[in-house]
Amino acid sequence: MNFSHFFTSLIAIVNEMSPYIILGFIIAGFLHVFIRPDTMGRHLAGRGIKPVMKAALLGIPLPLCSCGVLPTAVSLRRQGASKGATTSFLIATPQTGVDSIAATYSLLGLPFAILRPVGALAGALLGGVAVGRLDSDSQSGSKTACHSTAGGHEHSDAGFVKKIIEAVRYGLVDMVGSVGKWLVIGLIVAALITVLVPDELFLGLSQYPLLAMLVMVVVSVPMYICATGSIPIALSLIAKGLTPGVGFVLLMAGPAANFASMMILSKTIGRKSTYIYVGSVVLTAILFGLAIDYLLPREWFMPSVSHLSPHCHHTFGIFESMCSLLLLCLLVYSGIRQHNCKIDHQHNLNTNASNMKQVYIIEGMSCSHCQASVKKAILNLKGVQSVTVDLGSGEAVVEGDVDANTVREAIYEAGFSVKE
């Protein structure tokens, strides 16, 4: 393997993405702090296309992955959102986000950055309306006085300056911790494709775009990849000869559906609605992919791939290099922070053998949003003294005088399940 070409391609992609993705993270932090889930739930109640449209428009800018969006959706249901609106929110949210839209523009260009949220909106409307007609419920979610918030959101009445600080902290710390691992994986995979995959490998498949799209669906749906991490992979596949439409299918189908989230989803909105959810994601991704390949000018969707060429001399500006350095520091800090949390969790397991301590293996957590949601749901229970949740092992250690069934029910209502 040509390591020089590998690292050059990796650095070039990071330099292209870093200014936009940092901006996206900061905007995501402000959305997290200033948008209240209970307010969203009130707007998403009722039948018809109006709450479905609102759910899609609210979900598109939010930076939540396909697993991280589940606790938010559960919270919206409990705040009164209809099943159709909840499905619309579940489809639109993980496919986009302000961070991934900004990163899409940086690597793939303006047409991809425009069509990505448009495709998410179309899929969300299709899925939400279909669920409303075919699998609607008699009541629009449970309007209990639930004060828990999704994904660990805590909207307090703190001053404006404190909210600004919290928004920046969330964007540059929690958000980086949430998508950082998948972003790194996506960048490395993209660089490996650039170096190791011969250009002629995809030439035959590129002659049959529909077949290539179906193959991409089969490959991307089972695995987990976030909306931002899919961008460099799509860029590398297009550079190797696959059509832009096939790359678009990866961008839309990969982040929106994976087996882990679908299992939890079936318990949240029902099996029938889950089938509609997956079908809407796949159908709209393929239809938009075909439109890109057959109806729209090809030159609109051919991103500049000169930075992936081993023969291109790369020049990096000071601003881009500083943004890349900042992103690297944030990723390293996030990794150290998560490692320390894991050590603290293990220490609590080893040093406290109290009879008041219970350990649960939680299924379905894949990001810091999931981790925070589980922790908050358990902490809200009467009698709980402390909770530590380890994302890597899936273990939750609960200390206090609380019934085990009550803890399991709280975890389930947060959108997750407990391994027996």
Cα–Cα distances in angstroms (integers) from residue 162 to residues 39, 59, 62, 165, 277, in the given order: 21, 25, 21, 5, 38
The confidence score (pLDDT) of residue 127 equals 93
The confidence score (pLDDT) of residue 350 equals 59
| Residues 6 or more apart whose Cβ sits within 8 Å of residue 305 | 235, 238, 239
Mean pLDDT across 1-12: 74
Instruction: Report residue 396: phi and psi, to 5°.
Output: -120, 125
Does 3 or 144 have the greater pLDDT score?
3
Assign residue 241 a region (left: φ > 0; alpha: ψ between -120 and 50; beta: otherwise): left
Highest mean pLDDT among 71-80, 131-140, 151-160: 71-80
Highest mean pLDDT among 69-73, 120-124, 155-159, 313-317: 120-124
- Tell me how many degrees the CA angle 148-93-25 measures, rounded to the nearest 5: 85
pLDDT tens string 209-264: 899 999 888 887 766 677 888 888 888 888 888 899 999 999 998 888 766 667 66
Cα–Cα distances in angstroms (integers) from residue 36 to residues 147, 160, 250, in the given order: 11, 15, 31
Contact 88, 49 (CB under 8 A): no
d(CA 379, CA 386): 7
Contact 128, 266 (CB under 8 A): no
d(CA 289, CA 155): 39
Per-residue confidence band for 146, with pLDDT thresholds at 50, 70 and 90: very low
Can you tell me which residue has the tokens 């609210």?
Answer: 58
d(CA 234, CA 212): 13
Nearest Cα neighbor of 264 from 409, 364, 135, 378 is 364
d(CA 353, CA 198): 56
Task: Point out which residues pair with 397 in neighbouring strands.
Answer: 359, 388
- The CATH T-level fold of domain 352-419 is Alpha-Beta Plaits (3.30.70)
Of 2-16, 153-167, 308-322, minimum mean pLDDT range: 308-322
pLDDT at 402 exceeding the cut of 60: yes
Token pair in block for residue 105 = 């523009």
Nearest Cα neighbor of 261 from 277, 282, 250, 272 is 277
Per-residue confidence band for 37, with pLDDT thresholds at 50, 70 and 90: low
The confidence score (pLDDT) of residue 115 equals 95
Round to the nearest angstrom and report the end-to-end CA distance of the chain.
45
Q: How far is CA 41 from the centre of its chain?
A: 20
The confidence score (pLDDT) of residue 140 equals 42
Parallel, antiparallel, or unpaired: how do β-strands 395-400 and 384-389 relate?
Answer: antiparallel
pLDDT at 41 exceeding the cut of 70: no
> What is the SS3 assignment for 361?
strand
pTM of this prediction exceeds 0.75: no
Assign residue 251 a region (left: φ > 0; alpha: ψ between -120 and 50; beta: otherwise): alpha
pLDDT tens string 332-368: 888 888 777 767 666 665 555 444 678 888 877 766 6
The confidence score (pLDDT) of residue 268 equals 67
H-run or E-run covering 417: strand 417-419
| Residues 6 or more apart whose Cβ sits within 8 Å of residue 97 | 24, 28, 60, 61, 62, 63, 64, 227, 228
Token pair in block for residue 30 = 């402000």
Domain residues of the chain, as ranges?
A: 3-325, 352-419
The confidence score (pLDDT) of residue 249 equals 93
Does 294 or 304 have the greater pLDDT score?
294
Cα R_g (the chain), whole angstroms: 22
Per-residue confidence band for 152, with pLDDT thresholds at 50, 70 and 90: very low
Assign residue 152 a region (left: φ > 0; alpha: ψ between -120 and 50; beta: otherwise): left
Can you tell me which residue has the tokens 């982040």?
Answer: 255
The confidence score (pLDDT) of residue 167 equals 84
Does 160 or 71 have the greater pLDDT score?
160
The confidence score (pLDDT) of residue 288 equals 96
Token pair in block for residue 133 = 């007609």
Contact 42, 79 (CB under 8 A): yes
